[in-house]
Copies of this chain bind each other. A is one copy, B any other.
């Protein structure tokens, strides 16, 4: 299940030789009948946006927010590849379009992998069509597609939300570089809701803000980040709120799976800031704590060193009063009114020893609140990222 669970979608996955050893590296998701349906995307804010990001943006513009399918590839980001890179991304769309009987601009493209290496179109191009032709609505096809987009992920990431009268299915890849706007991540949602492209785009942006844009691993923003949604219209017409909520649930689940599977992470950090001057300020402060290498190291060492948390809050650039701040780990207050609080150290130690660590920071200033998902920083992150070979 997942992307083929909503009515009207088919999928497939296979190997086109982008990765070595016949590992799956191409996924296709398309409408069952090859007809274009309302579609929307949220893309990386990185000005070094990769070729597939440029091409998908262009295609959505050309069609006024409609798509018949998506091709996703892993193993090469097709970023920093110039005009040949854009030509390669367009060629992938064209070949997918031919297979499903759509126009090239009705196909969107997502790619993930190493930056700066020319995309091997000559080798991979001819191997796309058989993968397109293998598409089906079977759950195994959706599972195969989810596996084909993995890079350093240790497991596929999928979600399925059953809403009132419609469904949302989703799959994603993401490991390091999870950060707001948006991380090295690709996510594709399908829904059978009947909705126009504008409403679909609004719902997706709101859902992304509350999920993918509220997590971080290393604060880096990738060149390829993309979240797409296609809506087949085969089921009910939901309200904007209902659609947003369903997408938020699906994206939220994928975000949790990503952080849980982040490169080398041993902890999932749930950082919540309350009492901020505004929700925006709370979000900035929570992210500052989550992004802190020092806080991340403390999490790795299971050390409830709240001094670093307070130091990050004080340098987050938001309103802050040392005399009003409090910090709690797993519900146990360790710092109150800016100084150490007598507390049950054994209870905190047990909480720090678990995989999920909750840090609640109350700024004592207003009603602003926000939560950010993060990780610890351990040897595994370095092992994963020190060399590309």
Contacts and interface: CB of A to CB of B under 8 A. Distances in A.
A223 B48 contact: no
A61 to B, nearest CB: 19
Nearest to A318: B47
A305 B176 CA distance: 15
Which among A223, A315, A322 has the highest number of chain B CB atoms within 10 Å?
Answer: A315
Q: How large is the interface on A (under 10, 10 to 19, 20 to 34, 35 or more residues)?
A: 35 or more
**Residue from A337, A385, A389 whose CB has the most chain B CB atoms within 10 Å:** A385
B294 A176 contact: yes
Contact of A312 (B80, B220, B314, B323): B220
A335 B82 CA distance: 11
A42 interface: no
A306 interface: yes
A223 B312 CA distance: 9
B218 A294 contact: yes
Contacts of A80: 306-307, 310, 322, 335, 338-340
Interface of A is mostly: loop
Contacts of A58: none
A294 to B, nearest CB: 5
A77 interface: yes
Given A48-B314, A315-B45, A79 B388 contact: no
Given A118-B340, A301-B387, A221 B315 contact: yes
Interface stretch (A139-147, A192-200, A376-384): A376-384
Contacts of A85: 339
